[in-house]
Amino acid sequence: MMETICDDRRFPAALADVARAEFVYGDEGEGVDFEPYDAFDSAEETTDWLRHWTGNHELDGGDYRVFGQDGTGGLAAIWCVRPGRPLAEQPVVFMGSEGERGVVARNLSDFLWVLADGFGPAEAALYLEREARPDAALAELAERHATSPRRTAREIITEAQVEFATFSDDLDELCR
């Protein structure tokens, strides 16, 4: 069993607002493939998902707070990896249905700016080279909730990938 770093399961107000936002995928997939939830998946659902995703049935999902998915079933989650830090200061990650994965943002605040720049979790983790498509409504949401300065999605994602450079390797270590 893994030790849980963060016991907080309260759904942040910023994510509740994101859950009410409209994300348009588009006819050609040119938009954002993101279906946000209005609450975190339960601890049991998260553990079940992590065990199936890794093939390791000894794990628990306590270090993840799943808050949305893409159209293929890939999941967006807050990854509780920073001991003693609040939920909003933990990184946001994406774990795809076919094993794809990536760090999206260093914290929830930065994640809001990524959304405002037109990147969902899957696009941020897997398609960083795509063109930004700023969204005025999501920018306004980020301005209301974000505590970090506005930067481009590319800058935010790159910073997160540098800070958590071993994320993919760490996941591979959990797989059976």
Please report which confidence band the pLDDT of residue 1 belongs to, taking 50, 70 and 90 as the band edges. Answer: very low
Q: How many CB atoms lie within 10 A of CB 47?
A: 19
Report the alpha-carbon distance of residue 20 to residue 32 in Å, rounded: 15
Identify whether the C-beta of residue 102 lies closer than 8 Å to the C-beta of residue 126: yes
**Kind plus residue range of the DSSP H or E element containing 68:** strand 64-69
**Average pLDDT rounded to a whole number, residues 65-88:** 95
Q: What is the pLDDT of residue 5?
A: 59
The whole-chain average pLDDT of the chain stands at: 93
- Please, how many CA atoms are within 13 Å of residue 80, restricted to the half-sphere of its CB? 20
Q: What is the pLDDT of residue 169?
A: 95
CA 114 to chain centroid: 10
| Alpha-carbon dihedral sign for residues 149, 111, 83, 98 | negative
Report the alpha-carbon distance of residue 149 to residue 164 in Å, rounded: 20
